[in-house]
Amino acid sequence: MSETENARPKWMTGILTSGPFRFGFVTTLGVLLALLLGAAIVSLSYAIMLIFLAIFISLGLYPVVTRLQNRGVSKTGAILIVLAGFIGIVVAMVLLITPIVIEQATELITTVPQYLTDIENQAWFVNLDTDFGGALTTLLALVTDAVADPNTWLVVGGGALAIGASIVNGVFGIIFVVVMTLYFVASLDQMKGALYELVPASQRRGFRELAEEIFDSIGKYLIGQIVLAALNATFSFILLTILGVRYAVVLAFLALFITLIPIIGPVISTTIMTVVTLFESPVTALIVAVVMIVYMQVESYVLTPRIIGKAISIPSALVLIAAFIGATLLGLLGALVAAPLVASILLILKKVIVPRQNLQ
């Protein structure tokens, strides 16, 4: 026994070595460690979100690599073709589409007060306002005051400094996601192989088959959802252009990202387009609403089964719940990845948990 232990009182030695004290001490350390880990995750949430976004994009691009390989293209060539196409799309959006979107979005924001003033004099607004006892005029006055108040835009934007920081972070985020996506697409097979080696050899085959099925389903779903969003945005742009809507580009650009959200995305996009076109003409807004509702039916019953197929097979109610929870936690990214994550969980339950339960 050491001199320190000899000098320590017996009652102190008993407390330090007793079960309850040791349990409480270890528990406290565990709670503190969990809090520190949680704080670290919160601090790194933006970086983690970008990494997960790059992973999901790479999973969406990899089925294209597989299809090119099936057509006789070498694996290296297929990866290079896909990466070149991905970089080309990103560059085209940044250099060609983004400036037009920024210009039209700025014009829309600056002309909203004038639109609100003009709408008050339109016959349909006057008739509705009369039917509702002047309630629309009161509501319009509140909206107009809020829009005209500079503090409103400072609160919404978080101030000029925050807006500038958001732009810088956005540019950095795009570059980071592009670079990480390139890396993940090029090394996805090695990453999956390393993951499989972590599983015991006796269970590796089953785990590999299940994981490959999940990865394949996620990839097909994501690429299909991107195609559907692109078709929706293209159709919206053509429709708004034919009707002479001034902000066709910015509305179509918004539709491209909003409609990535399954089921509720097209509804939100159609609502935004209808409200904006209402400033110009109620007839135009009605046409936009009717045509887009018809398009949503075609998308749901014709395009979606053909493009996505059975890659993701989950009830619509679960899709809505998952999209809402995902959007609350991680915004657009969370709403996009919610459906494939839920589908993956259901697949694991179907292939692993249910068979084990049936054996008991």
The predicted structure's pLDDT at residue 41: 62
Q: Chain-centre distance of CA 70, in angstroms? A: 30
In a domain, 134, yes or no: yes
Q: How many structural domains compose the chain?
A: 2
354 and 238, same domain (yes or no): yes
In a domain, 111, yes or no: no
Q: Chain-centre distance of CA 12, in angstroms? A: 56
152 and 229, same domain (yes or no): no
In a domain, 116, yes or no: no
Q: Whole-model pTM above 0.85?
A: no
241 and 130, same domain (yes or no): no
- Three-state DSSP at 18 gives coil
Domain that holds residue 289: 206-359
The predicted structure's pLDDT at residue 295: 94
353 and 277, same domain (yes or no): yes
What is the four-CA torsion angle of 86, 87, 89, 95, rounded to 10 degrees?
Answer: 170
213 and 350, same domain (yes or no): yes
What is the four-CA torsion angle of 30, 36, 42, 48, rounded to 10 degrees?
Answer: -80
The predicted structure's pLDDT at residue 156: 45
263 and 143, same domain (yes or no): no
Q: Structure tokens of 319?
A: 């899709």
In a domain, 263, yes or no: yes
Q: What is the mean pLDDT of each run of 10 residues along the chain (360 residues)?
A: 52 52 65 71 68 80 83 84 82 72 66 63 66 68 58 46 48 75 83 86 84 80 84 93 86 85 84 84 89 91 74 66 74 71 76 74
In a domain, 221, yes or no: yes
The predicted structure's pLDDT at residue 163: 41
147 and 217, same domain (yes or no): no
What is the four-CA torsion angle of 234, 239, 245, 249, rounded to 10 degrees?
Answer: 0
222 and 346, same domain (yes or no): yes
127 and 249, same domain (yes or no): no
320 and 227, same domain (yes or no): yes
In a domain, 68, yes or no: no
In a domain, 106, yes or no: no
In a domain, 8, yes or no: no
151 and 246, same domain (yes or no): no
Asked if 346 and 353 count as a contact pair (C-beta separation under 8 A), the reply is no
213 and 352, same domain (yes or no): yes
Decide which of 158, 180, 215 is a domain's last residue.
158
* Three-state DSSP string of 108-131: HHHHHHHHHHHHCCCHHHHHHHHH
Return d(Cα 139, Cα 142) in angstroms, integer: 5
